[in-house]
Structure 1
């Protein structure tokens, strides 16, 4: 049980770190350098600040669900009582 929660917390830390880097890093910190690239007529820094971080967050939710399903199966929590 302890290894289950340790792995779960590691998944959360990694995925939330990715989200932080994308939302705060790409949208605020690295905006000026990303603004030299354009997507659909919009500067990439602006795109990440407005939409990109939301898309990444939704993708990370699906990644988390997949990882947790594998972890549940590994530890025997996938069976109904």
Structure 2
């Protein structure tokens, strides 16, 4: 693998990480803290939605983002010849 390919690989990797972290931040901080009052008007299973996002929703989103990251990295590895 050439140096240019390695730099492009890491550039895309960092881009994926930053995008996924931004999504997680928006869900955990935005939905759990900033939009809590608006989301509390909606109830799921007897619990206010703002409370749910603050307590459990951001964890579920984080786990989903882990699987998304694995899929993205597998595709990236194949693209740059790092697949096993």
TM-score (norm 1): 0.96
State the 1:26 CA deviation. 0.4
Q: Which runs of 5+ in 1 are unaligned?
A: none
- What's the RMSD between the two structures over aligned residues? 0.5
Separation of aligned partners in 1, 2:22 and 2:82: 26
Q: Deviations over 1:17-55 (max 9, x none)?
A: 000000010000100000001111100000000000000
Measured in 2, the distance between the counterparts of 1:67 and 1:40 equals: 33
Matching of residue 27 in structure 1 with residue 37 in structure 2:
no
Partner secondary structure for residue 53 of structure 1: helix
Matched residue, 1:67: 72
Task: State how far apart, in whole Å, the 1-side matches of 2:82 and 2:28 are.
Answer: 33
Superposition pairs for residues 5-24 of structure 1, below 5 Å? 5-24=10-29
Number of aligned residue pairs: 79
Give the Cα separation in 2 of the matches to 1:14 and 1:39: 28
Give the 3-state SS of the residue equivalent to 2:82 in structure 1.
Answer: coil
Stretches of 4+ aligned residues off by more than 3 angstroms = none
1:37 alignment partner in structure 2: 42
Flag structure 2 segments of 5+ consecutive residues without an equivalent.
1-5
